[in-house]
Amino acid sequence: MEGKQNQKGSIMTKDRDGDPAIEASGLTKIYGEKRALDGLDLTVPAGTVYGVLGPNGAGKTTSVKVLATLLRPDGGQAKVFGHDVVREADAVRARVSLTGQYASVDDDLTGTENLILLCRLLGHGKAAAKARTEQLLNAFGLTEAAGRQVKNYSGGMRRRLDIAASIVNTPDLLFLDEPTTGLDPRSRNQVWDIVRAVVKRGTTVLLTTQYLDEADQLASRIAVVDHGKVIAEGTPGQLKASIGVGAIHLRLRHSNQRTDAQNVLARFLEQPTLSEHDEVLVSARIPGVEGDAGMAEWASKALHELSLRDIVVDEFSLGQPSLDEVFLALTDRPATPENAAKEGANR
């Protein structure tokens, strides 16, 4: 029955209203011994930013490649706007665009030349190509750099041009594979603004990231991926709530007391603590609120421990754990230790 339908192009390529942008179940991809994807399930509602969050090697790029039809899965299935990524790859390709490691821009060409070339390749006439190029360069803050060869661009400029190149024709689904990895905070913010603008115009965005705050900032839903599997899924709020515990966030008066404060908290709460970007901030999960002690009681005891050691706390709040804390709780290891270090190094 299904086979018969698939022979009919009209039925095969017709979009069904209300289809999720992506529906994947049990995707596997095996490289030798390595299960890059190990039964990955994903449902991405249309019209939103969906975050796929995971450390290096989690399987993010492999998922994107499979969903964008660049790679055949070894098992499971996936549909993009109702079209099977293997059997209806052309219909999928017509709807998606991606940027990341597959950057299509040429280093030897200028920004303008790259975009004009792409516009022409995608069938725009000369005048339309010029107009679209100018519009994109302007929107992405690249007008001044337009005449320079891309090899002389900064990382942030290059990333912006990559994204511009991927939306020359507005795709229904845009894959952004770690669009801000390695960018300084200012360029990151520019990319975030671009993502928000793209989604506002109706494009669904699947964004992979190693940055928990990025997923929190941009995504309506997040899948946490580890070892080729989704280990948690939900809205940022649900993810945090699913951990079932709260967190205490502290602002210290003296940054040189932070290490001491972390040690005290880690010992008392029996939880690893996290360093925030700001060096006077510390946060820690509060262990399961069991027995007689509520969260406030845990917190007040923790504060007492700090005061016994003359650690000055200017401000504290109780709330949901951050996404970093979620990852720590889910996997028993920090999500991206190297990112914390990188953040610290950025001015």
Ligand X SMILES: Nc1ncnc2c1ncn2[C@@H]1O[C@H](COP(=O)(O)OP(=O)(O)O)[C@@H](O)[C@H]1O
Residue 184 beta carbon to ligand X: minimum distance, rounded to whole angstroms: 21
Which of these, 220, 213, 225, lies nearest to 180 by C-alpha position? 213
Residue 24 beta carbon to Mg ion: minimum distance, rounded to whole angstroms: 17
62 binding Mg ion? (CB under 5 A): no
- Binding residue count for Mg ion, defined by CB under 5 A: 2
Q: Give 61 or 112: the residue with its C-beta nearer to Mg ion.
A: 61
Residue 57 binding: pick among ligand X, Mg ion, none (C-beta 5-8 Å cut-off by kind): ligand X
Residue 30 beta carbon to ligand X: minimum distance, rounded to whole angstroms: 9
What tokens appear for 92 in the block? 């999928």
Q: Give 225 or 248: the residue with its C-beta nearer to ligand X.
A: 225
204 binding Mg ion? (CB under 5 A): no
Order of all β-strands in the sheet with 22-31:
34-44, 22-31, 75-80, 83-84
Residue 69 beta carbon to ligand X: minimum distance, rounded to whole angstroms: 16
Residue 236 binding: pick among ligand X, Mg ion, none (C-beta 5-8 Å cut-off by kind): none
Q: Give 51 or 246: the residue with its C-beta nearer to Mg ion.
A: 51
Q: Give 34 or 196: the residue with its C-beta nearer to ligand X.
A: 34
Residue 160 binding: pick among Mg ion, ligand X, none (C-beta 5-8 Å cut-off by kind): none
Q: Give 115 or 215: the residue with its C-beta nearer to Mg ion.
A: 215
Q: Are strands 49-53 and 221-226 parallel, antiparallel or unpaired?
A: parallel
Q: List, as one string, the DSSP characters of 72-93.
A: --SEEEEEETTEETTTTHHHHH
Residue 289 beta carbon to ligand X: minimum distance, rounded to whole angstroms: 34
Q: Give 62 or 257: the residue with its C-beta nearer to ligand X.
A: 62
Q: Give 59 or 171: the residue with its C-beta nearer to ligand X.
A: 59
Residue 61 beta carbon to ligand X: minimum distance, rounded to whole angstroms: 3
150 vs 147: CA distance, rounded Å: 9
- Using CB under 6 A, list all residues that contact ligand X: 31, 34, 36, 54, 56-62
**What are the E-state strand segments in 186-228?**
204-209, 221-226
Residue 321 binding: pick among Mg ion, ligand X, none (C-beta 5-8 Å cut-off by kind): none
Residues 15/81, Cβ–Cβ less than 8 Å: yes
Q: What end-to-end distance do the CA atoms of the chain give, in Å?
A: 61
Which of these, 226, 172, 218, 224, lies nearest to 191 by C-alpha position? 218
61 binding Mg ion? (CB under 5 A): yes
Q: Are strands 75-80 and 247-252 parallel, antiparallel or unpaired?
A: unpaired
The values of phi and psi at residue 316, to 5°, are -145, 155
203 vs 96: CA distance, rounded Å: 10
Residue 148 beta carbon to ligand X: minimum distance, rounded to whole angstroms: 30
Residues 163/192, Cβ–Cβ less than 8 Å: no
Which of these, 49, 52, 25, lies nearest to 39 by C-alpha position? 25
Residue 56 binding: pick among Mg ion, ligand X, none (C-beta 5-8 Å cut-off by kind): ligand X
Residue 70 beta carbon to Mg ion: minimum distance, rounded to whole angstroms: 13
Q: Give 34 or 301: the residue with its C-beta nearer to ligand X.
A: 34
Residue 59 binding: pick among Mg ion, ligand X, none (C-beta 5-8 Å cut-off by kind): ligand X
Measured from the Cβ of residue 35, the count of other Cβ atoms closer than 10 Å reads: 17
Residues 20/46, Cβ–Cβ less than 8 Å: yes
What tokens appear for 65 in the block? 């490649």
The interface region with Mg ion, picked from 60-68, 107-115, 154-162, 230-238 by CB under 5 A, is: 60-68
**Beta-carbon contacts of residue 1 (< 8 Å; ≥ 6 apart):** none
**Binding site residues, Mg ion, CB under 5 A:** 60-61
